[in-house]
Structure 1
């Protein structure tokens, strides 16, 4: 038995990991195959209770007629990648887009600041890994973000000294790119997902690449996250699980963190739990980490067997911030700021997600207008594609450049985009401008404009 392999350790913090990971489907699930028209439908109860599958299926956000309608519409897509091929009703959306959600992951960026300031190479990984765990609190929301329009952007400049820019750089396949920077770190991501629709659930495979560079010592960190599964999309209470392994590697030294997201088991056992180790380059465990991705993470020094060192105690490194009670979309205070024009930077780009009329209408509770605006934007996007093809032109992102590099991931290859530095120049010019004209932030006065041909009728 290898002492530095927590999956085979029979004691300590990892006694249940081996059985948990080998039984990912252990959560209470029942088929409702006995109901005509629902063949292949599986309802999974995260609490693992004993109520009948038919009763569990009736719970959740949908009325009976809505569930039946969506099931008829979606069952033909079972087994397919539905990333961009299905037009979905706005009732399942939250008033945020995917390029906004990329910026939302910066909420606990102070952990990367601490990683940069840390002298101990293993504690540095504790801080960085805790940052990457913290983003799962935002991922747990069961509402779907809007797909960004090609050329859509999002800016964040008022948090932790960060300048953040994200852009939708490709529509087919959908790819977003993001860059964040402050005095301590740079954060670069190319985000692409592949999905597999399973009827009442969907598996989401993250084909992205995330790199963090800590500026003080030039340390480069690379992330490989686990897949995510969304259960009870149509029937039952929607919930999210990310069973599997997350690996954060120090590309400079060879040190790494391996964390196991335990799958939800009977009666919710293991749900949210994360356990693992910081290893040195010789794959010896140095620090154990444990916690829940929706609550807090802690660490403790360990011996070569992976057991806590005598005389040491668990130390908390991150805890989720207090959130509003009974919020419709389960938003944090930070998520609400993401949509606010009060926190928008001066001279906001007209392509910014805040300006999307469908997103804004949904935020105000006008589902009818949101649906109409969403259809209008999608048709404009299709028309622009036809015009682009007629002109024999290609779409070119403003803030990111496509590279010739193809990055392999466990779920497929990724076309990489890199930040071109132009946004830093753009924002610096605005910040040093002597222009004293106040920026208009009335949503009614600003027009969403990500278009390649804004002056032509596509």
Structure 2
């Protein structure tokens, strides 16, 4: 008999994103790891507001993580982001509650990203609880920093610690610029990016203005010909958007 396939220690994560709507500006994300039979489909758009010395960005939308080996779907929301001290030395933090739920397993989680208190206190703090909904049992609690050390305590008394800052960082691979499509963001914004890197704000502003004017002209042309905007990689499904060829449909 044929030997069963060995679980590989080498995993490849594939990712694609596309702006699927302009009004409102919705972005679709898709990520998969075939070796681990996992994929994530997310759609999100943002609402921004000024708050004195800060800018708050709310993430509207949700994601679905699929674990194909277990035939489970985990639906999750996203935290808010805050840009602080925008007129001096800016820094970014996350805040708000995130929910994660799986109808099949009956488990759900609430993750709270704590913003820094005005006086004192640590930054990037996070706490979480995992609950078994049918029994109401809290099976796990977590606390720590989302970009540092996280400690997990289980109802059995077992504990685990993960230091996210010591996890290996794998640089993403992208197509060479000349092989990218005309509307791929790195190619489309290359002159703006180059000007910003060299500190030439006037040139960056000029290139940005040209891109925006071209987008407006193309929008007017589509409106005049009654041609809808058609995404390349995502299709509308209910209130969200999904990747047209996701991993779960290839099984």
1:386 maps to 2:211: no
1:262 maps to 2:114: yes
Is the Cα–Cα contact under 8 Å of residues 277 and 287 in structure 1 kept in the other structure?
Answer: yes
Indicate the residue corresponding to 1:66 in structure 2. Answer: none
Indicate the residue corresponding to 1:375 in structure 2. Answer: 209
Q: 1:422 to 1:370 in 2, by over 3 A?
A: farther
RMSD: 2.7
Instruction: For residue 320 of structure 1, give the secondary structure of its aligned residue in structure 2.
Output: helix
Q: 1:172: Cα distance to partner?
A: 2.0
Q: Distance in 1 between matches of 2:11 and 2:207?
A: 34
Indicate the residue corresponding to 1:277 in structure 2. Answer: 129
Larger radius of gyration: 1
Instruction: For residue 242 of structure 1, give the secondary structure of its aligned residue in structure 2.
Output: strand
Per-residue CA deviation, residues 280-323 of structure 1 (Å, 9 max, x unaligned), is 122211122111012122212236xxxxx2xx4x4223412489
Instruction: Give the TM-score normalised by structure 2.
Output: 0.81
Indicate the residue corresponding to 2:4 in structure 1. Answer: none
1:419 maps to 2:249: no
Q: 1:422: Cα distance to partner?
A: 8.9
Quick one: higher RCO (CA 8 Å, sep 6+), 1 or 2? Answer: 1
Find 1:353's aligned residue among 185, 204, 211. 185
Instruction: Give the TM-score normalised by structure 1.
Output: 0.46
Indicate the residue corresponding to 2:229 in structure 1. Answer: 395
Is the Cα–Cα contact under 8 Å of residues 53 and 84 in structure 2 kept in the other structure?
Answer: yes
1:195 maps to 2:48: yes
Q: Distance in 1 between matches of 2:65 and 2:145?
A: 23
Q: 1:395: Cα distance to partner?
A: 1.0
Is the Cα–Cα contact under 8 Å of residues 67 and 73 in structure 2 kept in the other structure?
Answer: yes
1:288 maps to 2:141: yes
Per-residue CA deviation, residues 229-282 of structure 1 (Å, 9 max, x unaligned), is 333323x33233433322211232220122222231254314211122221122
1:230 maps to 2:83: yes
Indicate the residue corresponding to 1:170 in structure 2. Answer: 21
Q: Which has the higher helix share?
A: 1
Q: 1:196: Cα distance to partner?
A: 2.1
Q: Distance in 2 between matches of 1:387 and 1:296?
A: 52
Is the Cα–Cα contact under 8 Å of residues 354 and 360 in structure 1 kept in the other structure?
Answer: no
Indicate the residue corresponding to 2:64 in structure 1. Answer: 211
Stretches of structure 1 lacking an aligned partner (at least 5 in a row): 1-116, 118-158, 304-308, 324-332, 407-415, 424-458
Stretches of structure 2 lacking an aligned partner (at least 5 in a row): 1-6
Indicate the residue corresponding to 1:344 in structure 2. Answer: 174
Q: Distance in 2 between matches of 1:198 and 1:172?
A: 24
Indicate the residue corresponding to 2:3 in structure 1. Answer: none
